[in-house]
Amino acid sequence: MDRQQLVEALLAAGQPPGSFQVTGVHSHEPVPTDFWFLRPGSGDGWEVGYFERGVYEVRKRFDAETEAAAWMYRAVTGREPLP
C-alpha cells in the first residue's frame, strides 16, 4: 500500500477526511486540531504520528513508505489493510 492507496482505503473505511493527513496526497486548510499523519522523515524513511493542539508526535519511523502506510492504516482503523 502506498500513500495514495492509504488515503483511498481510509476514506473507504469511513474515516472522516479531517482525521488524517498524508504528505503530497491529502492535507487540510485550515489545519484541524488533531489528526494522524504520514510524512517523509527528517533523513531517509517515513514517519507516522499524531498531531494534537499544535504538536506533532511521531509514533513510529519506517524505512519504506509501504510499511508506514500499512501501520498507519492499522493504527487509525484497528484493522489489517486489504491486499
Q: Give the pLDDT of residue 81.
A: 86
Q: d(Cα 35, Cα 50) in Å, to the nearest integer? A: 6
Transcribe 12-66 into DSSP letters: HTT--GGGEEETTTB--SSPPSEEEEEEE-SSSSEEEEEEETTEEEEEEEESSHH
Q: Give the pLDDT of residue 46.
A: 97
With a cut of 50, which residues of the chain have pLDDT below it? none
Identify the three-state secondary structure at position 75. helix
Per-residue pLDDT of 70-80, as tens digits, reads 999 999 999 99
- pTM as predicted: 0.91
Listed by start position, the domains of the chain span 3-77
User: What's the chain's average pLDDT?
Assistant: 94
